[in-house]
Amino acid sequence: MATVSAPGGTATADAQPLTDGFHLVVDALKLNDVQVIYGVVGIPVTDLARVAQASGIRYIGFRHESDAGHAAAAAGFLTKRPGIALTVSAPGFLNGLVALADATTNCFPMVQISGSSERHIVDLKQGDYEELDQLAAAKPFAKAAYRVDRVEDIGRGVARAIRTAVSGRPGGVYLDIPAAVLGEVVDAATGAASLWRVVDPAPRQLPAPEAVDQAIELLAAAERPLAVLGKGAAYARADQRVREFIETTGLPFLPMSMAKGLLPDDHPQSAAAARSLALRRADVVMLVGARLNWLLAHGEPPHWNPDAKFIQVDIEPTELDSNQPIAAPLVGDIGSVMEALVERAKPGRIQVAAGWRQELGERSAHNAAKMADHLDADPHPMQFYGALRAIRDVLHEHPRAYVVNEGANALDFARNVIDMQQPRHRLDSGTWGVMGVGMGYAIAAAVESGDPVVAVEGDSAFGFDGMELETICRYQLPVVVVILNNGGVYRGDGTNAASADPSPTTLMPHAHHDRLIEAFGGKGYHATTPAELTTALTEALASGGPALIDCVIDPTAGTESGHLTNLNPQGVTAPAPDTPAKKK
């Protein structure tokens, strides 16, 4: 327990040691094994970061609160412990709130701690510095929100936030600490007694035996069974149990993007290369840590078999039946559910028909051949496939490297080309499809693991958080950013017939993003061919330091909204300025 001098002067020899809210927050975090804080300092939290550093907690300072929050969320996913984000009051808090909401949607455990104005001033709207009712603002976007109004409640507030973030379905928690509470001085012994360590914050939740048996019966009776692995399965760290069940039953499996590597992408039971066929034909589907949301077309035809029966493994009972009837609900933590499935499934009870395996295998081989044709082509200017083939091949030589991926076309193409062999080594825009997560995720992956990170970014997505290159360089992190630069949002050949202004989707032509990182002391590369990209990425990874490769892509490459063109409303195209609109 750190102590501070008595306010207004030096404590006398017989005075009791004192502490304050800053030290109590840090002591509470340390007591609960927090090792890193991601944040942006300013009034009233600057001293909290200083005290954290002095205590041995690593503080990673960002240029924008949203990026710090995304880093904390990614840290939660990677470590299964709540990532901690620290922000200032009002505007800084609101910047961080985007990441907090995204963490909750993605089910990543995260705690955003923000300083705030005094309640009595906020409630009477007296106009305090950065006045805002932050607790009320956070509640709709977080799993839970708490405020600490007394210094003696700091330990309780931290404990509640940590348990809430990781228990049940993980999510983002907001912890509001007014400036006066942070600065409040209290007897050190009293302060120490108010702190505690959270015991078993995410206890096992066992599934009902009859539910397990029902799931096994459904799979045993299926003609075309399929397992869908979501990022919840990756987060659970039940890798061996998941693999044992998949391999002992022979079930074909389809990994969602952040579950890639839970089993290797080249596993013989993977149906990833036959995704559309697998969804359309499967008659019994087991969802493991995956939700039937928009990413899986809500389980609806024509994407799915209209007669499909669903088994769902989820820790949150209210998720069941949210889109389709769930024939066998398996409520519990994924590790316990998979263990029960293995134990209660008699050897040979679940048999996958040879015809179903052959059907998936043939479609996978057909699609793999088509992909090989795309990857083997070498057009000029460079296309997405040529660039990603080069990245994939270099990454094969660096199996420990993490891959961060965001964009529209950059995300869609990379997800299909870059295969993963290790669990939790791919992070992307996730359930909300948020752009601007890339640099925060990359920084967290590097900080939490110490391993190299390759962030594959669309040039538009990179623009949301590009200033964090300075953060990467300041901390000398092993992050290589590869920008697939086609000069636009979706593509760079947009036109504006109305004026000399660029079209809505046009970015700066011939931008040299590599020069940005050079301004901060990192290494910049400019690549216009797959061979140049291979050389640059190989050299950058070997250096172990910050680097950025500006990879020039054909501006005509890409499609509107990537694979989500169907989500764009199809209205009437605006008439050219010299074309009179027709009157009704």
Q: Which residue type occupies 254?
A: L
At residue 569 the predicted structure's pLDDT band, cuts being 50, 70 and 90, is confident
Same domain, 291 and 237: yes
Q: Are residues 531 and 484 in the same domain?
A: yes
DSSP string for 419-479: ---STT-EEESTTTT-SS-HHHHHHHHHHHH-S-EEEEEEHHHHTTTGGGHHHHHHTT--E
Q: Are residues 409 and 309 in the same domain?
A: no
pLDDT tens profile 51-62? 999 999 999 999
Tokens of 257: 């993007």
pLDDT at 570: 65
Mean confidence (pLDDT) of the chain? 94
CATH of the domain at 234: 3.40.50.1220
- Alpha-carbon gap, residue 340 to 330, rounded angstroms: 10
* Cα–chain center distance at 24: 30
Structure tokens given for 565: 């063109």
- Domain boundary at 139, 160, 193, which? 193
Residue type, 412: D
d(Cα 195, Cα 192) in Å, to the nearest integer?
6
Q: How far apart are CA 266 and CA 420, in angstroms?
A: 8
CATH of the domain at 127: 3.40.50.970
Long-range contacts of 303-310 (CB under 8 A, 24+ apart): 303/276, 303/279, 304/279, 304/280, 305/279, 305/280, 305/281, 307/283, 308/282, 308/283, 308/284, 309/218, 309/222, 309/283, 309/284, 309/285, 310/284, 310/285, 310/286
**Per the domain annotation, does 569 fall within a domain?**
no
Let me know if residue 446 belongs to a domain. Answer: yes
> Is residue 11 situated within a structural domain?
no
Residue 125: its pLDDT value, please? 85
**Contact by Cβ (8 Å): 286, 215:** yes
Q: Is residue 236 part of a domain?
A: yes
Asked whether 132 and 176 are in contact (CB, 8 A), the reply is: no
What is residue 342's three-state secondary structure? helix
Rounded CA gap, 314 and 328, in Å? Answer: 11
Within this chain, do residues 226 and 319 fall inside the same structural domain, yes or no?
yes
Q: What are the phi and psi torsion angles at 285 (to 5°)? A: -125, 125
Q: Which of 20, 13, 199 is nearest to 1 (CA)?
A: 20
Residues 239 and 313 placed together within one structural domain of the fold: yes
**Which residue's entry shows tokens 């304050």?**
20
Whether residues 536 and 389 share a domain: the answer is: yes
Pair 330, 215: CB distance under 8 Å: yes
Q: Tell me the percentage of the chain whose pLDDT exceeds 90.
A: 89
Distance of CA 54 to the CA centre of its chain: 30
Strands 18-20 and 185-187: antiparallel
| Residue among 428, 575, 537, 558 nearest 493 (CA) | 558
- The residue type of 439 is M
Q: Are residues 479 and 388 in the same domain?
A: yes
CA angle centred on 406, ends 441 and 401, rounded to 5°: 55
pLDDT in tens, 272-321: 999 999 999 999 999 999 999 999 999 999 999 999 999 999 999 999 99
pLDDT bucket at 348, cuts 50 / 70 / 90? confident
DSSP 172: E
Classify residue 368: in a domain, yes or no: no
**Sheet bearing 523-527, strands edge to edge:** 426-428, 402-406, 453-458, 479-485, 547-552, 523-527
Instruction: Let me know if residue 581 belongs to a domain.
Output: no
Positive or negative, the CA dihedral 326, 432, 388, 399 is negative
Between CA 311 and CA 328 the distance in angstroms is 5
Q: Same domain for 180 and 227?
A: no
- How far does the chain reach from its first CA to its final CA, in angstroms? 76
Range of the domain at 352: 209-362
- Give 162-210 pLDDT, tens digit per residue: 999 999 999 999 999 999 999 999 999 999 999 999 999 999 999 999 9
Contact 143, 165 (CB under 8 A): yes
Residues 395 and 346 in one domain: no
User: CA–CA distance from 214 to each of 55, 219, 309, 313, 330 (Å)?
Assistant: 52, 9, 12, 13, 9
User: Would you say residue 6 has pLDDT above 60?
Assistant: no
Q: Is residue 426 part of a domain?
A: yes
Look up residue 77 and give its DSSP letter.
H
Strands 18-20 and 523-527: unpaired
Question: In the listed set 334, 362, 390, which residue is the last one of a domain according to the structure?
Answer: 362
Q: Are residues 186 and 235 in the same domain?
A: no
Whether 357 and 477 share a structural domain: no
Q: Do the bridges between strand 479-485 and strand 547-552 make them parallel or antiparallel, or are there none, so unpaired?
A: parallel
How many other CB atoms sit within 10 Å of the CB of residue 571? 6
- Length of the chain as a residue count: 584
CB contact at 8 A, 152 and 28: no
Question: Does residue 90 sit in the same domain as residue 224?
Answer: no
Q: How many domains does the chain have?
A: 3
**Predicted pLDDT of residue 578:** 46
Contacting residues for 262 by C-beta, under 8 A, at least 6 apart: 229, 233, 234, 239, 242, 243, 255, 423
Strand-pairing partners, residue 253, are 227, 270
Between CA 343 and CA 354 the distance in angstroms is 25
Q: What is the pLDDT of residues 411-461, one digit of tens each?
A: 999 999 999 999 999 999 999 999 999 999 999 999 999 999 999 999 999
Is residue 582 a part of any domain in this protein? no
Domain boundary among 362, 396, 416: 362
Query: What's the pLDDT band for 573 if we cut at 50, 70, 90?
Result: low
DSSP-derived secondary structure letter, 506: B
From the list 443, 475, 482, 480, the residue with the least C-alpha distance to 461 is: 482
Which amino acid is it at 569?
Answer: P
Whether 114 has a pLDDT exceeding 80, the answer reads: yes
